[in-house]
């Protein structure tokens, strides 16, 4: 594990993310779909019924809600994360709903499963690693020809005002996780944070020790270099010069996080059987 992975891991062991309050099957399926999964799947041209029997990798799965959702719809799910506390919660969630997920504690950079996946998801993890592009290529390599990869990253423009807030928090409270948390609670929220989920959300947003910022053009470049064709995003973006204007809109709306999906071409498989 590199220095950044160590620091980030220490942080998530303290605040496993997202720690959603999933009490009922309805929370896991309908609520999660309405809040996030519907949008995520749509970027890759997927719907819940298309997941059945598919090999899915959820890299940086956190507390496992998305991995359990995939499994609920009949996918064969492998989910990895560096954080043992998150994985413990994820396993408990899967057990609660009798879902089968193959969980593993592993660094994305070192993951060698010995098989390929129809759909690879990595949401909110690459920007907490030292080498986001290298980790992307490792995941891209695990995608079957014709399969999809979906990544969620912080946007360089959309997260601008947020970056300013993070810098201010660092100036006022330094780098200690707990000092930063109590500063955010006191000065930004001005009340006690209410639930484990709210604490996890606030910590991830303001206190995370490392994050990087990316653009649509950069991700299109990653896709191109690895033989992936862009298929969809959330929020919607156009490509080329117009992507810049899409991102300016995200900045105005405060959309700091964007999701992009690409499909792996068959050509490599044909050239190198």
Ligand X SMILES: C[S@@+](CC[C@H](N)C(=O)[O-])C[C@H]1O[C@@H](n2cnc3c(N)ncnc32)[C@H](O)[C@@H]1O
Residues that bind ligand X (CB under 6 A): 5, 8, 12, 17-18, 60-62, 66, 80-83, 86, 107-108, 123-125, 128-129, 204
Q: How far is the CB of 122 from ligand X (least distance, A)?
A: 7
The three-state (H, E, C) secondary structure of the chain, written as one string: CCHHHHHHHHHHHHCCCCCCCCCCHHHHHHHHHHHHHHHHHHHCCCCHHHCCCCEEEEECCCCCHHHHHHHHCCCEEEEEECCHHHHHHHHHHHHHCCCCEEEEECCHHHCCCCCCEEEEEEECCHHHCCCHHHHHHHHHCCEEEEEEEEEEEEECCCCHHHHHHHHHHHHHHCCCHHHHHHHHHHHHHCCCCCCHHHHHHHHHHHHCCCCCCECHHHHHHHHHHCCEEEEEEECCCCCCCHHHHHHHHHHHHCCCEEEEEEEECCHHHHHCC
Residue closer to ligand X, measured from CB, 62 or 158: 62
Q: How far is the CB of 271 from ligand X (least distance, A)?
A: 30
Residue closer to ligand X, measured from CB, 108 or 169: 108
Q: How far is the CB of 106 from ligand X (least distance, A)?
A: 7
Q: How far is the CB of 26 from ligand X (least distance, A)?
A: 19
Residue closer to ligand X, measured from CB, 88 or 265: 88
Residue closer to ligand X, measured from CB, 35 or 52: 35
Q: Which residue is nearest to ligand X (CB)?
A: 62
Q: How far is the CB of 237 from ligand X (least distance, A)?
A: 20
Q: How far is the CB of 225 from ligand X (least distance, A)?
A: 21
Residue closer to ligand X, measured from CB, 75 or 82: 82
Residue closer to ligand X, measured from CB, 58 or 118: 58
């Amino acid at each position: 594990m590199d220095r950044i992975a160590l620091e980030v891991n220490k942080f998530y062991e303290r605040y496993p993310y997202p720690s959603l309050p999933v009490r009922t099957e309805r929370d896991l399926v309908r609520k999660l779909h309405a809040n996030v999964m519907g949008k995520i799947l749509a970027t890759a041209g997927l719907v819940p019924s298309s997941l059945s029997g598919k090999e899915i990798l959820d890299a940086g799965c956190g507390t496992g809600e998305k991995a359990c959702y995939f499994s609920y719809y009949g996918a064969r799910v492998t989910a990895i994360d560096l954080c043992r506390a998150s994985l413990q919660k994820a396993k408990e969630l899967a057990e609660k709903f009798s879902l089968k997920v193959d969980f593993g504690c592993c660094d994305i950079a070192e993951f060698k499963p010995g098989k390929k996946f129809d759909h690879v998801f990595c949401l909110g993890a690459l920007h907490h690693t030292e080498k986001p592009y290298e980790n992307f290529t490792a995941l891209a390599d695990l995608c079957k020809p014709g399969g999809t990869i979906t990544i969620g990253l912080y946007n360089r423009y959309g997260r601008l005002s947020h970056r300013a807030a993070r810098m201010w928090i660092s100036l006022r409270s330094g780098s200690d996780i707990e000092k930063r948390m109590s500063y955010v609670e006191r000065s930004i929220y001005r009340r006690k944070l209410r639930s484990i989920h709210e604490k996890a959300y606030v910590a991830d947003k303001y206190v995370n020790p490392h994050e990087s910022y990316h653009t649509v053009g950069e991700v299109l470049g990653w896709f191109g270099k690895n033989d992936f064709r862009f298929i969809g995003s959330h929020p919607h973006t156009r490509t080329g010069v117009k992507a810049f204007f899409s991102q300016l809109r995200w900045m105005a709306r405060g959309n700091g996080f964007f999701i992009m999906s690409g499909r792996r071409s068959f050509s490599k498989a044909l050239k190198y059987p």
